[in-house]
Amino acid sequence: MAGKVVLIVDDNAKNVKLVRDVLEFKGYAPLVAETGEAAVALATEHLPALILMDVHLPGISGTEATKMLKANEATKKIPTIALTAMAMKGVRESLLAEGFDGYLSKPVELKELLELVKSHLG
Amino acid sequence: MRSIHNIPISRKLTLIITLISCVALTLNCGFFIIYEFLSFRKASLQQLQTMIETFSINNRATIAFDDPTSAATTFASLKNENNTFAACIYRTNGVIFVTYPEGLPKEGFPPPAFVRTNWFEAGSLVLFEPIHDDVGQKIGSVYLKSNLQSMYSGLYRFMAIALGVVLTVSIAAFALSAKLQGWISQPILDLSKLARAVSLNKDYSLRAVKKADDEVGVLIDSFNEMLSQIQARDDQLKAAKQKAEEVSEELRVSHETLEDYNRTLEIKVEQRTAELAQAMNEAQESKVAAEQATRHKSEFVANMSHELRTPLNAIIGFSQVLLEKMFGPLNEKQTEYTNDILGSGQHLLSLINDILDLSKVEAGKMELEPSLFDLRAIIQGSLVMLKERAANHGITLKADIGEGIGIVNADERKMKQILFNLLSNAVKFTPDRGAVGIRANLVGDDIHIAVWDTGIGIPKSEQQKLFKEFHRVQSSLSATVEGTGLGLTLTRKFVELHGGRIWMESTLGKGSVFTVALPQKKLEAELGTVFITRPGESLLADSSSEHEARVRVLVIEPDARAAAMLTGHLNEAGYSVEVARDHEEGWKKIQARPPRVVVVDVLQTEGAGVSFLDRLKEDPTTKELPVIMVSFLEGGEPGEPLTETERIAKLDPKLLVEKLGGLGLRRQNTPVRILAIDDDPRTIELLAASLGPEGFEVLKATTGEQGLEMAADQRPDLIVLDLLMPGMNGFEVLEKLEQGQLTHDMPIIIFSIKNLSVEEKNRLKGRIAGMAEKGAFNKEAFVSIVERTLKRSQKGII
């Protein structure tokens, strides 16, 4: 069966591999973008069911990419989860305020990630 | 006219002596003159009497014989006399018989007298002498008148002599007195002169020379004595004056010295001030430098933390994937190693987290985010977290929570971390089948939380270093236990942030006790709200009118302590609370006066609870009544591990409040309106997103000017104000709001990132209801500030 498409946006190859392999194992169809620009292009083209977006990216940031997606009628409904290694106080609130629909801190607990994905995709 | 009193004494004396001499002599002479006069008169009378008697006898015959010629001869003797005479002889018939001098007209004679008589008249003596015959018959009378010329001339002579004597004596007296008066007057004059000299020259050393021992001598003595005294006084005065001058001079000198000193002091003060200013500048610079360094350090730590987390993500993630056996099974060794990789990764992660926290504490960026929570629940929760690990080692967990431990106002997350750190240490260093426990109670004004264990203990030599960074106790057990060496350091910092203390006691081989003391009073003062509430206390004491305006909640809870805790929370959140001890009482209360919500403790209603709920659902009047089921953890008895009551989510009072808010009860009436003034639309959205679900209506203004306008037009119940805005800034808005008739009493909460200076804080002091920092935004904390502010401002939550 063709799983639901999940767009993974991260510039760190190992992290991409980890999330991609786990999602594939769980039967989703991962799609990878290494930059914010690529993420916007891929999301617009494929309209994934969920986006896992790293905040720190070369070029435009994950936040900016998300804003662009949220500004686009076609992509604005796609739930976008922020993944970040920032552990400072208030990060969660500010990310939610910037338009993200959820937040996970790195290092990601696999169980937590899967539960979150499951809760958005069923 | 010159008064006699003013003439000199010497003249006076001369005059007096002369006058007295003259008067005495004149009186003397006068007496003698009168005496002489009288003697003359007497002598003249006797002489003339003799003369007239002779005439009388000699003329007896002449008359008898009527012989006037003979009669005339009898008077011839009168011619030899010095005096001039007139004489006559009368017959008895009064006819003049003969006259003397002869031929003198008879008319010039007085009428005759025929008795012996005499008298003086006009410088003359007049005599009459009768003439008797032999038988004694009166035959005539003789008249004789003498002009007393000789007597008067004698008298005049005498008087002239007397006058001469008086004059002579007077001159002599004058001359003598003029000479002799000096004897008396000279000493007086000398004295007077001396007195004048003394008074003129102020020379009190002069002395009068005493010449005699008389009264003047006494006077001179007294005068000299007086002079001596005056001189002595004068000397004293002079001495005193000199002394006064000396003192005054000294004063002047010391004044000058003082002025000099003052000048020196001023200069010194200026110098010191300059030095101080410089020192302060330097201190400021080093402070800035230190702050910068600290900022750099914490930025570095934050960055490092970020950089470390990224590879850890892969390490931890892939280990988990392997252990999940997603891509095939692992053999025993592989599983063990993968577990080691995962454990080390997680250890590294906790290390990074602790370092991040520590760096925040040290940069002063770690701030308390106080909120009200139930300490009892946190303690029990922390035990639950360790339950599994403890169970793996057969370690018994015990809890002993005293009366009075309930709701506190503190930083919940940090409090959890404190308890978790201490408990996990205790579990780590306790051998299998030991015991670890927590004991909490009130000691005076402090809350004491003691975490104890029956572990390996800590040697005395290690106890001092225990709270230092990266210090780990060396022991056989510790070698097998992983740790960051930062846990206790952080724990102590967190405790200190709360104004508390932490200390430990330990016996090697027996165990350790770590005690945290939190000052309830101090926290109250610093956090500005009630720190702890004992059952049945103040939070229940709300005025009834306030109750009327609030949403009524019925809490069915038999445990008085739990009921009080709930009541406290709900009151704080603006609800009015009624408590029923059991279902029956609850039912009656619902019937008497239906509340808007019922909160039921599930544990207490087990079995019976279901029928109670059925009863509510079946009755048409209570069918729609919202019911929230809650559960309290049983307070673990000592020795008894935590129970399985968690099958129903344990009650978090905040969650309950949130749930109640979610029921939308508050929105039934006019919603509370909050005006957010901020130039950053995202901040406004954040506020709207936070406050909207709580039932508040958020009005939005993006400039100070717009905010002022809206405050006056819309009359919000509360204003959330940013300080840093282009155009009119928050301080100005605050001032304008205060001046406005409609806006001066609106409660204001400052929401800003600005680090306020002392001056700015003072400007705000007393004018704002609360403050929240943007960087540390925490929705619950913010909502709680808003609600507390509204409650205070009496506009209330409907």
Could you tell me the CA-to-CA distances from B214 to B8, B184, B219 in Å, in that order? 21, 10, 9
8 Å CB contact of A107 and B317: yes
Could you tell me the CA-to-CA distances from B165 to A101, B178, B639, B664 in Å, in that order? 163, 19, 160, 156
Specify the 3-state DSSP secondary structure of B588.
helix
Neighbours of B449 (CB within 10 A): 26
Question: According to the model, what pLDDT value does residue B449 have?
Answer: 93
**Which of B16, B146, B24, B163 is CA-nearest to residue B82?**
B146
Cα angle for residues B654, B658, B664 (degrees, 5° grid) = 155
Chain A residues with beta carbon closer than 8 angstroms to that of B312:
106-107
The answer to whether residue B73 neighbours chain A at the CB level (below 8 Å) is no
Domain A1-6+75-122 has what CATH class? Answer: alpha beta
Distance from CA of A24 to the nearest CA of B (A): 10
> Beta strands B138-146 and B85-91: pairing type?
antiparallel
Q: Which strand (E) or helix (H) includes residue B697?
A: strand B696-701
Q: HEC states along B360-404? A: HHHCCCCCCCEEEEEHHHHHHHHHHHHHHHHHHCCCEEEEEECCC
Distance from CA of B656 to the nearest CA of A (A): 22
The answer to whether residue B775 neighbours chain A at the CB level (below 8 Å) is yes
Question: According to the model, what pLDDT value does residue A37 have?
Answer: 93
Question: According to the model, what pLDDT value does residue B634 have?
Answer: 42
* Domain parsing of chain A, residue ranges: 1-6+75-122
For the sheet containing B96-100, what is the strand order? B96-100, B85-91, B138-146, B124-132, B117-121
* Facing A85 at nearest CB: one of B306, B320, B686: B306
* Facing A14 at nearest CB: one of B314, B327, B686: B314
Distance from CA of A103 to the nearest CA of B (A): 15
8 Å CB contact of A12 and B310: yes
Distance from CA of A84 to the nearest CA of B (A): 8
CA B505 vs. chain centroid, Å, equals 51
8 Å CB contact of A19 and B317: yes
Specify the 3-state DSSP secondary structure of B695.
coil
What ipTM is given for this predicted complex? 0.73
Chain B residues with beta carbon closer than 8 angstroms to that of A12:
310, 313-314
8 Å CB contact of B313 and A90: no
Asked if residue B679 lies in contact with residue B703, where contact means CB atoms within 8 angstroms, the answer is yes
* Facing A110 at nearest CB: one of B311, B315, B321: B321
Could you tell me the CA-to-CA distances from B454 to B383, B392, B461, B541, B774 in Å, in that order? 16, 16, 19, 44, 45
* d(C-alpha B139, C-alpha B91), whole Å: 6
Distance from CA of A40 to the nearest CA of B (A): 22
Chain B residues with beta carbon closer than 8 angstroms to that of A85:
305-307, 309-310, 313
The answer to whether residue B332 neighbours chain A at the CB level (below 8 Å) is no
The answer to pTM > 0.80 is no
Neighbours of A39 (CB within 10 A): 30
Chain B residues with beta carbon closer than 8 angstroms to that of A107:
309, 312-313, 315-317, 345, 349
Chain B residues with beta carbon closer than 8 angstroms to that of A88:
302
8 Å CB contact of A86 and B349: no
Neighbours of B188 (CB within 10 A): 15
Question: According to the model, what pLDDT value does residue A41 have?
Answer: 93
Question: According to the model, what pLDDT value does residue B540 have?
Answer: 30
* d(C-alpha A81, C-alpha A84), whole Å: 10
Question: Chain A residue with minimal CA distance to B299?
Answer: A88
A contact test, residue of B300, B307, B310, B324 with most A CBs within 10 A = B310
- In tens digits, chain A (122 residues) has pLDDT values of 457 899 999 988 888 998 999 999 889 999 999 999 999 999 999 999 999 999 888 889 999 999 999 999 999 899 999 988 776 667 777 888 888 888 888 888 888 888 888 888 87
pLDDT-flagged residues of chain B (< 70)? 1-2, 469-484, 521-550, 560-561, 601-611, 629-655, 658-659, 661-670, 753-758, 775-777, 792-798
Torsion from C-alpha of A63, A68, A71, A75, nearest 10 degrees: -100
Chain A residues with beta carbon closer than 8 angstroms to that of B685:
97
